[in-house]
A and B are shown apart, each in its own frame.
Chain A
Amino acid sequence: MAADSDTTAGGGDGEIVTDVVIIGAGPVGLFAVFELGLVDVKCHLVDILGKVGGQCAELYPEKPIYDIPGLPIVSGQELTDRLMEQIKPFGATFHLGERIDGLARRADGRFDLTTDAGKKFNTRVVVIAAGGGSFTPKRPPLDGIEAFEGKSVFYSVRKMSEFMDKDVLIVGGGDSALDWTLNLQPIAKSVTLLHRRDEFRGAPHSVEKMRALVAEGKLRLLIGQVTALHGTDGWLEDAIVKTKDGEQKLSVNALMPFFGLTMKLGPIADWGLHLEENLIPVDTEKFETSEPGIFAVGDINTYPGKLKLILSGFHEAALMSQRVHKYVYPDKKLMFQYTTSSSNLQRKLGVK
């Protein structure tokens, strides 16, 4: 085994040295671990979500998928679980809740990657399996909201103490909205929870706690929607809220909207890759991008005849792996083998 293939944290500057970094831990990114593993290539996976499975786990964990070969019906979550079981022998390392922000080619042809959390990778190959892009909080289409973001409009909380003297307006009816309502209520000057209907998707015990606080007069609950924001220099002064009794002005200086997640291409757009309508063109032999050593598989890529199907991504991962093997082991000949008959592959899979 080439030294190259050893995944270590032994590089300078605490960087992680590896063969491959896969960006995106959706079904195709997960299956890429399998195909790369069969050719002795070690992987690290990075995903912005706090869990594996990508859209399958985030958007439709319960919904049945009918077009996975050999599985007449499988839910998004079950497919994810099965893929995790299938790739277990290859010991990939997961970096969840992180996004690759920076990519730069090194003088030696390898790549330096950095995550938004400051983690660094030194990798021979990059495999982009980012699906529809990275999941980011939905921005309510309120005029001028961008100007407030980071100063008085927040989609997540880094330091709760920042809300200490704030009049906070939280919008939404799911767990994020309820959790932050309950967490910030004891800290903030005041908390108002606004939701479009008097029913909540969040966990029942959170809903109960929230209602109890409302009954005690410690929390204001409004049923309605925000229609406008006012303030200066990014500092929110009030929000206009439409309820069934008409419009009212709420004096608030912090807003937290929780309208779920949407997929955005994100930093990938800044890496100098050739893009076509936010997709990455690849060849259909190796699924390599315009940059040698950077591959794209699954929904994020495009080529003549491309279909955004999970099964297409699986095929792409298999072919991509053949080329990646050449990058990682330039002097080794790759013999094509079947898992059904190859004792070598079966040993890797731990079945022999």
Chain B
Amino acid sequence: MSAVLRGNLRMALSDVRGAKWRSVLTMLGVTVGIVAVVTVVDIGGGVKRQIVGTLQHFGPGLIIVRPGQVSDTGSGLGNGKNDVLFGLSSASTLSMQDLQTVQQTPGVSTVAPLGVVPGVATVDDHKSSKVFVLAANSNAATVLNQKVSQGDFWSSADENAQTAVIGRNVGQALFGEPVPLGRSFKFRGQDFIVRGIFAPFDNVPFSPTASFNDAIFIPYQTAAHLTQNTASLYVILAKASNPKQTNGVTTAITTKLRAAHGNAQDFTVLNASQSAGINSGVIHLLSMWIFAIGAISLAIGGVGIMNIMLLNVTERMHEIGVRKAIGASSRQIWSQFMMEAAVLSVVGGCVGIVVALVVDGLLYAYSDLKPVISWQAIVVATLVSLAIGIVFGTAPAIKAARKDPIDALRHE
């Protein structure tokens, strides 16, 4: 029997080779499905790794106070809530008082505000649309756990100074040189001097509207002065002195802030692990959608295989007759056509895996998504395509096997 199986496998491979175009078109459905599924899984893995990386990057003790409500579930895409970590796109209900409140909560070691300051930074009338200005305080570098690679961050003594620390990309975009230390730019009519440049932020995936690499950080009090206090606080970052008590401190901040806001819950306090939960909810939803698309495509691919195999069986009826005449049993004919369907779908699946890996590579090279290749997804994809071949190959194979030898032989 195994000799027959091997013979059938070889025959199936040569049949697939023989009818190249038809085979390619047949496999396409399975291929697309596998590409979709594997890529989604890999992107999901990458996103997860980025979240974990972000958490580790900012350190476990980070607590984020955001204006407005962020619901835990059902957060759809495109409603602005995907910018959860830093909430730069929301209207603010937080004030300087809240910053004080958070600062005074027991267990909080450092606090930094963060807010977008409207206005355009120019250097000799040159401006860049990418660059935006954030107000922060001297603790920002510590709280964000980010190194300043050139120069230094301003100290608490300079909270009123017209000084700035810039993200990695700002130098090239605005000043036309990578390290514009000591150079100045104009912002809302005032001159600011660049005193430090952040090392590249590599993990801020959920602020698509605001990569910190494009940000100019200026002292919060200077900003407040410039804008006559109209610049609002978009986020308050706090660091728990003992990272293990982060959840407790989060609760304490919530209680205090709620009291300060007259019992109104018009803010959200999150620590890094909670926000990761929200984000993975978004990712989950996205994954489900693409997974569904992948599954539909796989089902269509399977139907395609069934269709082609039925056509194949009809076209080769005479051959089936000849094979039966020289002694092939129905079982052997069945096994031959099963094998062909399986080969078609597994080859389609393998092509899909290869394409998915290429897509992963391209995404890695040319986008912010950094997919992680998952061998589980590859194994599952192979098994799924095999299963599709078996499920959708059964009916045609049975049709071929059941055919009466003389009817098959008469078929031209």
> Real complex partners, A and B?
no
The residues of B with any CB-CB pair to A shorter than 8 Å are none
A interface residues, Cβ below 8 angstroms from B = none
